[in-house]
Amino acid sequence: MLERALGTMVFLSARGWRVLHWRWIGLAVMWAGANEVARRVLTTDEWVTFVTVLSIASIVSYIVCTRLTAPAYWTGPVDE
C-alpha cells in the first residue's frame, strides 16, 4: 500500500518497502494505543489538546521514520 502511494517519489528495494511498512504500522498502533489511554483518562478538553499535539507528533514521527529508513534501502536516482 505504501509503495503505491509513495512509489513515484521514494525508490526503495522490496525489503525497504516491507521495513518501512512495518515501522509505519508500529507507529500507528503506538499512537492509537496512546490515544485510547488518553481518551479514557483525560477530560474532554484535555483529550482534545492531547490529540492536537498527537497529530503533529505523529506526522513528524512518520517523516523521521521514513527519513531514517530510506537511505539504507534506496535504489533509485539520487538528486544532485
- Residue 43: HSE in the Cβ half-sphere, 13 Å Cα cutoff: 2
- Does the pTM surpass 0.75? The reply is no
Quickly state the pLDDT bin for 63 (edges 50, 70, 90).
confident
Q: What is the pLDDT of residue 72?
A: 85
pLDDT, mean of residues 40-63: 91
Contact yes or no for 20/2 (Cβ under 8 A)? yes
Q: What is the pLDDT of residue 80?
A: 46
* Range with the largest mean pLDDT of 15-29, 33-47, 48-62: 33-47
